[in-house]
């Protein structure tokens, strides 16, 4: 059996994220074409990587039907023009799909089964709304295995407010405003654009166009503006469209490799995978998932939360981030947390988001060589959390 090898993150890109719906950026663009664009950009940006050296293409999608079906990792690899010798597969862990694509191929690399892999995710929520075609087993409710709210993500966020009574709607709204402000600054400072791949779009009404920036951010968001929004998941509740991520379309991808192979090929390794962990929680409070997954990842890495210099937390809901911060004794406005803003601004095309977190962390590592360790973490539908700890190699 081969000994374990270091796994490194080489490069990550994504399409701009669009708003889902008939007027969104990608309303008439196929999901698999978004993945193709990402794969081609990764190959273009890394000319020292011979395409035939890619040993696997793992692409996540939550709703694996239509243009997100047909074993999308393999389908997108062929469509992107990779050699037919390059295999691929589809993977699903709801919101943590792309994260799981990375950790799964990383295990193969560490074991020696792969040298280089492409991993990512896509979600076209306009074409494939969350839960499309799903047929939940009636035993979930008849045997009271989960609370009826467990299958409605917004309700699980309201449940989290119940569990953490110190997290008020005002705190959640303030966090959302901060996320929008940080995203606007990151755009103004040119931090986001280098890892976006311009993507051709076409509509029958307008013809051809080019998606070059995220559609979802709302710069200028204010507490006053958020205070009047409806709480659709509970009368007089806490969760609104303003303090949650949106319904979005987009794709992400990255190159991961054995450290020694990256060096052999002349690829620049940006960060090393230190440990990863997934954990389950009660599905009705799925937003608490990153707490046990992070505790487990820290334990596996023999690290403490105080060792972590940067956090990329997926902002499915503001309350879920705040629950994580409260648990670990981190303030709401800690500059280590989501320095470029998060999903409340950029959007959350379910299975793609994990690699967005990694790509942003890698860029932040480049700016902050004094920071040694960073975390990417997210909550996952059906009551899970996922965490990956990375070491800065810049």
**Dist. CA 19–CA 346, nearest whole Å:** 10
DSSP per-residue codes, 58-70: EEE-SS-SGGG-S
Protein fold of 7-128+245-389: Peroxisomal Thiolase; Chain A, domain 1 (3.40.47)
Q: Determine what percent of the chain is predicted with pLDDT higher than 90.
A: 97
Reference 60, options 89, 98, 86; nearest CA is 98
Mean per-residue pLDDT, 305-324: 98
Buried b (16+ CB within 10 A) or exposed e, 379-393: bbbbbbbbbbbbbbb
Consecutive H or E run containing 262? helix 259-265
382: alpha, beta or left? (left if phi > 0; alpha if psi -120 to 50): left
Model confidence pTM above 0.85: yes
Catalytic site residues? 95, 348, 379
45: which DSSP letter?
A: H
**Dist. CA 285–CA 56, nearest whole Å:** 34
Reference 270, options 363, 159, 377; nearest CA is 363
253: which DSSP letter?
A: E
Domain range summary for the chain, segments of one domain joined by +: 7-128+245-389
Displacement of CA 364 from its chain's centroid (Å): 16
User: pLDDT tens across 149-201, in order?
Assistant: 998 999 999 999 999 999 999 999 999 999 999 999 999 999 999 999 999 99
Reference 381, options 136, 217, 174, 16; nearest CA is 136
Reference 24, options 220, 250, 244; nearest CA is 250
pLDDT-based confidence at residue 2 (cuts at 50, 70, 90): low
Q: For position 321, what pLDDT does the model report?
A: 98
User: pLDDT tens across 102-158, in order?
Assistant: 999 999 999 999 999 999 999 999 999 988 999 999 999 999 999 999 989 999 999
3 pLDDT higher than 90 = no
**Dist. CA 155–CA 233, nearest whole Å:** 6
User: pLDDT tens across 40-58, in order?
Assistant: 999 999 999 999 999 999 9
Consecutive H or E run containing 328? helix 318-328
Mean per-residue pLDDT, 338-361: 98
Mean per-residue pLDDT, 275-284: 97
């Amino acid at each position: 059996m081969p000994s374990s090898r270091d796994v490194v993150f080489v490069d990550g890109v994504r399409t701009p994220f669009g708003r889902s719906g008939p007027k969104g950026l990608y309303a008439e663009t196929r999901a698999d074409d978004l993945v193709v664009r990402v794969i081609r950009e990764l190959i273009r940006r890394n000319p020292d990587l011979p395409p035939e050296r890619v040993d696997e293409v793992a692409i996540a999608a939550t709703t694996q039907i239509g243009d997100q079906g047909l074993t999308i990792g393999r389908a997108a690899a062929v469509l992107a023009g990779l050699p037919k010798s390059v295999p691929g597969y589809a993977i699903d862990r709801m919101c943590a799909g792309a994260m799981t694509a990375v950790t799964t191929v990383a295990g193969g690399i560490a074991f020696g089964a792969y040298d280089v892999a492409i991993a990512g995710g896509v979600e076209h929520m306009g074409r494939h709304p969350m839960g499309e075609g799903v047929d939940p087993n009636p035993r979930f409710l008849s045997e009271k295995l989960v609370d009826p709210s467990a299958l409605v993500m917004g309700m699980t966020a309201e449940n989290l407010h119940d569990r953490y009574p110190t997290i008020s709607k005002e705190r959640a709204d303030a966090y959302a405003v901060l996320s929008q402000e940080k995203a606007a600054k990151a755009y103004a400072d040119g931090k986001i654009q280098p890892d976006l791949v311009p993507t051709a779009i076409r509509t029958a009404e307008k013809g051809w166009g080019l998606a070059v920036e995220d559609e979802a951010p709302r710069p200028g968001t204010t507490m006053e503006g958020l205070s009047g929004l409806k709480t659709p998941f509970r009368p007089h509740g806490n969760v609104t469209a303003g303090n949650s991520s949106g319904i979005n379309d987009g794709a992400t991808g990255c190159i991961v490799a054995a450290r020694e192979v990256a060096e052999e090929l002349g690829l620049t390794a940006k960060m090393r995978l230190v440990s990863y962990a997934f954990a389950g929680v009660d599905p009705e409070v799925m937003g608490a998932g990153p707490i046990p997954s992070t505790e487990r990842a820290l334990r596996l890495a023999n690290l403490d939360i105080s060792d972590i210099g940067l956090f990329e937390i997926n902002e499915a809901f503001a309350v879920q981030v705040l629950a994580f911060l409260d648990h670990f004794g981190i303030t709401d406005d800690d500059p280590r947390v989501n320095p470029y803003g998060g999903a409340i601004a950029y959007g959350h095309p379910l299975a793609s988001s994990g690699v967005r977190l990694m790509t942003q962390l890698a860029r932040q590592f480049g700016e902050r060589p004094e920071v040694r360790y960073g975390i990417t973490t997210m909550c996952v539908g059906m009551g899970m959390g996922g965490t990956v700890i990375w070491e800065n190699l810049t």
